C-alpha cells in the first residue's frame, strides 16, 4: 500500500486549515477595516461650539425652542432666495427622514432666512407641498434680525475648507454681522449634547454622503419593542 495521502485526505486537511486559519484571518481583516473606517469618520467630527439657544415660530403655528432638542440630535438647514439650492436641500431632508425616520432621537430643522416673506402660513404650505414628516421635520421662522444674528454670529459661517493629508478636513468659521446673509447652503450636524460637530455643503454629494455616515455613528440606536419583550420573558 502507498503511504501517500489520498486526494480526499488532502481536501480534508485544506478544509481544516481554512477553518482554523483562513476564516479567523478574514474576520480579523474585516473587523480591523471596519474599526479603522469608523475611527476615521469619528475624527472628522469636531467641536465647533454649542448650538445657540433659540425660540422660533413653527409651521404648525406653535413655538419650537432649543429646549425641544434636549438629548436629541439634529440636522439644521436653511432656505433663502436660491430656489435650486432650496429644492436640493429639501430633497436631502426627505431622504434623511426615509433613512432615519423611525428613530425619535433625530430632529430635522429647516429654518427660513427670508423670514419676513415666509409667515408660518407660507411655511405650512411649503411643508405640505414637499410632503415632509410631521414627527421629524420642522419648518421654523422668526424675525430677520433674530435669524441673521443666530445664524451669522451664533452658528457662524463656514468660509474655508483645509484638507489635511493625514487627517480630517478643517473648517474655518467666521462671524457674519452684516445681517444680510441671503443664502446659507450648509447642513449643520448637532449632537445630543447640543454641540455643533460638522458642516456639509448642500451642493457636494460626497459631503452629504459623509453626513449620513456621521449621523449613523452618533445616533443612539433605538431599542425595538420585541427585543424588550424577549428580555422581560427571559427574566
pLDDT per position as a tens digit, 69-82: 999 999 999 988 88
Query: What integer pLDDT is reported at residue 34 of this predicted model?
Result: 47
Q: Which of 59-68, 109-118, 195-204, 221-230 has the lowest mean pLDDT?
A: 221-230
Q: How confident is the model at residue 108 (pLDDT cuts 50, 70, 90)?
A: very high
Q: Which of 15-24, 102-111, 216-225 has the lowest mean pLDDT?
A: 15-24
Query: What integer pLDDT is reported at residue 43 of this predicted model?
Result: 84
Q: What is the pTM of this model?
A: 0.76
Query: What integer pLDDT is reported at residue 83 of this predicted model?
Result: 83
Is 197's pLDDT higher than 60?
Answer: yes
Q: Where are the domains of the chain?
A: 1-43, 55-218
Give the residue, 105 or 222, on which the prediction is more confident.
Answer: 105
pLDDT per position as a tens digit, 2-43: 555 566 666 666 667 556 655 555 454 344 444 455 666 778
Phi, psi for residue 184 in degrees, rounded to 5? -135, 85
Query: What integer pLDDT is reported at residue 114 of this predicted model?
Result: 77
The percent of residues in the chain predicted with pLDDT above 90, rounded, is 45
**What angle separates helix 205-218 from helix 83-100, to the nearest 10 degrees?**
30
Cα–Cα distance, 147 to 161 (Å, whole number): 24
Cα–Cα distance, 26 to 31 (Å, whole number): 9
**What angle separates helix 23-43 from helix 205-218, to the nearest 10 degrees?**
110
Q: How much is the average pLDDT of 215-222? A: 81
pLDDT per position as a tens digit, 145-196: 899 999 999 999 988 766 655 555 678 889 988 888 888 999 999 999 999 9
Is 63's pLDDT higher than 70?
Answer: yes
The domain defined by 55-218 folds into Glutaredoxin (3.40.30)
Q: How much is the average pLDDT of 210-215? A: 94
Amino acid at each position: 500500500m502507498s503511504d501517500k495521502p489520498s486526494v480526499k485526505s488532502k481536501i480534508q486537511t485544506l478544509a481544516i486549515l481554512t477553518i482554523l486559519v483562513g476564516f479567523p484571518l478574514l474576520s480579523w481583516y474585516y473587523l480591523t477595516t471596519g474599526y479603522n473606517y469608523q475611527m476615521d469618520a469619528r475624527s472628522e467630527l469636531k467641536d465647533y461650539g454649542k448650538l445657540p439657544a433659540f425660540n422660533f415660530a413653527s409651521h404648525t403655528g406653535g413655538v419650537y425652542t432649543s429646549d425641544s432638542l434636549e438629548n436629541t440630535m439634529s440636522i439644521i438647514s436653511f432656505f433663502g432666495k436660491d430656489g435650486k439650492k432650496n429644492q436640493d436641500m429639501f430633497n436631502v431632508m426627505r431622504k434623511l427622514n426615509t433613512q432615519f425616520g423611525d428613530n425619535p432621537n433625530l430632529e430635522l430643522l429647516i429654518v427660513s432666512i427670508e423670514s419676513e416673506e415666509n409667515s408660518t402660513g407660507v411655511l405650512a404650505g411649503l411643508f405640505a407641498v414637499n410632503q415632509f414628516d410631521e414627527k421629524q421635520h420642522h419648518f421654523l421662522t422668526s424675525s430677520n434680525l433674530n435669524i441673521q444674528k443666530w445664524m451669522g454670529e451664533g452658528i457662524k459661517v463656514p468660509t474655508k475648507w483645509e484638507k489635511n493629508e493625514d487627517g480630517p478636513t478643517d473648517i474655518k468659521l467666521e462671524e457674519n454681522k452684516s445681517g444680510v446673509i441671503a443664502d446659507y447652503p450648509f447642513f449643520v450636524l448637532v449632537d445630543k449634547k447640543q454641540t455643533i460637530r460638522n458642516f456639509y455643503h448642500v451642493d457636494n454629494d460626497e459631503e452629504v454622503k459623509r453626513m449620513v455616515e456621521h449621523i449613523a455613528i452618533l445616533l443612539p440606536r433605538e431599542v425595538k419593542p420585541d427585543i424588550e419583550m424577549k428580555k422581560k420573558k427571559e427574566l
